[in-house]
A and B are shown apart, each in its own frame.
Chain A
Amino acid sequence: MASGDRPQGGMTEAEFKGLDVKLRRYFEWNRCGSPEDLAQDTILRGLKRLAEGQVNYAENPYSYFLGIARNVLREERKKPRAEAALDEDWPDRRDQLNAVQWRILLRECLDQLDPKERDLIVRYTLDGAEKAANQCGLTQNALRIRVSRIRGKIALCLRGPADSV
């Protein structure tokens, strides 16, 4: 699906990616165990219905998919809870090493930032939004917008998903 093409549902690839980000957060904030699976299920159901000729009645396609997501959430909550992990689980030392590497990588990406941007995001993280905004002479909203852009740059550096807002 090329960027800018308008498939069924009238949404571009970028809009579908944005929808997927919101759906994952929606299921995560509703305490579901597999938000990625449920987001994918929601999108697939919506596309299937559109392909079957159902009309998207919502003003905004996102509202249409939110309606489907609510049904998916309702079904998920009716399911029995997953069984607890078996006793043969074992600690994963490779994941511990990767966590340390990840932290080093994060620090390297912070070092690559412009010093003012690095200072801003460090203050925001360690001192809190209100204090950092006062120190930098910004409103909290302006600070959050700047932080969001900086974290987007870091996400590119890490080549991670864009939904790590």
Chain B
Amino acid sequence: MGLGGNNRVPPDRRDETSMVAYLLGQLPEDEAAELESSFFLDEGLFAALCSVEAELIHAYLRGELTGPRLRRFEEVYSGSTPRGRRLAAEREWFEAAKLVSGEKRTGGAVTRTRWWRGFFSTDGAAPKFAMVSASLIAALVFGWLAHRIIGVEAALSSMRADLAARGGTPQRVASFVLTPGQTRGDSAPKRILLPGNTALVRFELQLDGPAKQQAYTATLRAVDGYEVWSGSVFPEKGTMTATLPAGVLVRNDYKLTLEARGAHAAVADAPSYVFSVVGR
């Protein structure tokens, strides 16, 4: 029910029904315009709409969407569109939550095994009862091991399937090498022309010497200081790679700075990279 589809709508879920219709592009134009006007003015409504979208995506990932709603969802949240990328991001959340949840359930099985140990008693117990108890405990232990193995295999299969799916979805990637330390005062920044239909831009960030952190947060700002993108980068063999959606880049000058992950200010001697996007 709920996000999966429901013909009888209680009064308190009318708003959620309208929100789901809006997200799937099925709300009449005038109602959609009214909703948009409302969420621009009402922070609570905007947050609720974002939550409803996340819940809709989770319902899809749980396999709860069916029929026309499922078809419409897959049409809207398809491929390398922004909505498709949001689905991919939520899928990562979902898989991470499953991993955490799976470990919690496994911890419970260990507790039940210890509780059964009380039956293994040699103090006046008949041999037959001892054998039955020992067999039962052995069966439980083997069952727990099989459950762990199945759980790990399921997680690995899911990750392999994801990797295979990504392998079947080619994306246009434009790669550039950036060297640190260029400023507008030193020499002209690197000029970048993005090929048409570029979906992703990969910057190979060269380093002067070994990396001082195990992970950085890379922040890309336009020349006016406006932040357009940030993400985690990890040093690997003297270089780091930042991959970002091409859509965030327009004709402008940009500066990419690095911060130690978790910090809220740039590391004093962390490298920065300057470049200009001259066209697409």
Contact = CB atoms under 8 A, between A and B. Distances in A.
Contact of B248 (A18, A36, A107, A158): A36
A94 interface: yes
B167 A35 contact: no
B100 A96 contact: no
A129 B81 CA distance: 26
B51 A103 contact: no
Nearest to A118: B100
A20 B169 CA distance: 30
Contacts of A29: 22-23
Given A126-B94, A144-B48, A36 B228 contact: yes
Interface string B73-99: 000100001110010010011111111
Interface string A104-147: 01110011000000110110111011100000000001001101
A128 B96 CA distance: 16
B205 to A, nearest CB: 13
A86 B158 CA distance: 30
B96 A106 contact: yes
Contacts of A94: 202, 241, 243
A90 interface: yes
A165 B51 contact: yes
| Chain A interface size range | 35 or more
Chain B binding surface, main DSSP class:
helix
Nearest to B241: A94
Contacts of B226: 40
Nearest to B35: A29
B168 A125 contact: no
B259 interface: yes
A5 interface: no
A41 B49 CA distance: 24
A102 B93 contact: no
A85 B170 contact: yes
Contacts of B55: 128-129
A107 B102 CA distance: 12
Given A36-B248, A128-B2, A165 B47 contact: yes
Given A37-B250, A66-B40, A95-B166, A103 B92 contact: yes
Q: Which 8 A-B pairs have the closest CB atoms?
A: A165-B50, A34-B247, A89-B170, A159-B217, A106-B96, A125-B97, A144-B51, A107-B96
16 contacts: A26-B40, A28-B83, A29-B23, A33-B81, A35-B247, A36-B228, A37-B248, A83-B196, A86-B172, A91-B166, A91-B169, A92-B171, A105-B232, A158-B232, A160-B230, A165-B51
